[in-house]
Amino acid sequence: MIRHRVARDPMLISSLLVLGVVAWLVSMRVMDDMTMDGRYALGAPIAFLGAWVLMMAAMMFPSVWPALIVHQRVLSRRAESGRVEPGRNAAFVSGYLLSWTLYGVLAFALVAAVGQALSGVSDAAVARYVVAPIAIAGAVYQAVPLKRFCLRHCRSPMFWLAQHWRDGIRGSLRMGVEHGAFCVGCCWLLMGLMVAAGAMSVTWMALIAIAIALEKLLPVPAWVASAVIAAGFLTVAVIAVADPSLLPGFSDGGAPMSM
């Protein structure tokens, strides 16, 4: 029976990988089709949230698959007594994405407000007074206890799921929402940097996805992973101040940002 449970894990991972690749392809197509008048011209809220959910599905695979595998293994054990319900993995992932969708609502509101305030401001000013402070805040946040707590949960979710297991479809949905909340607590400034620097930029999306994968899957102690990400944040901050044109999507600094 152990073999049966373990054998299902590669299938689950493969399914997630396929879904992640599809989400990446669709996200890039959606971004290509969107008419962007400026860095913070995000379109209608529904369109933005639709693209945001696709982006989260593409980018957050490293954060969800360890918890989903634990979730699947518990379900497999319970299946021996006939107590498992179909669709629970889908409910778990849906709850996870729901947490990030709620964060996306907040991000849209903030970007809409900031975008109006920054109308006509140069790329250099955006880099130095928006991107750099967020990057510095991200580096500092890596040492905050809340960040370390959320990162430990994302890297090793087994204990938490064992302590907070809930039965039924609603139980899986709720566990997914709660796991997503931990992930938001871990990565919210990474996503904030992406939105501030590139809004719906595929390049920034790829860079942040790589950072998340390194932080969540790097086989090193959590503090080492945090140090790596903090160094990345500080690098972005230094570049934003010294030469914004080196950042993806930024001009030589003299032209005003179109709105």
Question: Does residue 57 register a pLDDT over 50?
Answer: yes
258 in any annotated domain: no
Q: What is residue 87's three-state secondary structure? A: coil
Structural domain boundaries, residue 208? 2-246
Count other Cβ atoms within 10 Å, centred on residue 67.
Answer: 26
Q: Output the pLDDT for position 258.
A: 40
Would you say residue 148 lies in a domain?
Answer: yes
In a domain, residue 212? The reply is yes
Q: Does some domain include residue 203?
A: yes
Based on the structure, what is the number of domains in the chain?
1
Is residue 217 one of the residues assigned to a domain? yes
pLDDT at 253 over 60: no
Cβ atoms of residues 251 and 125 within 8 Å = no
The tens digit of pLDDT for each residue in 150-205 reads 998 888 888 888 888 888 889 999 999 999 999 999 999 999 998 888 666 778 88
Instruction: Name the average pLDDT for the chain.
Output: 80
In a domain, 252, yes or no: no
Residue 253 lies in a domain: no
Q: Report whether pLDDT(35) > 50.
A: no
Distance CA 85, CA 82 (A): 8
Calpha distance 181→175 (Å, rounded): 10
For residue 119, is it within any domain?
yes
Q: What is the value of pTM for the model shown? A: 0.81
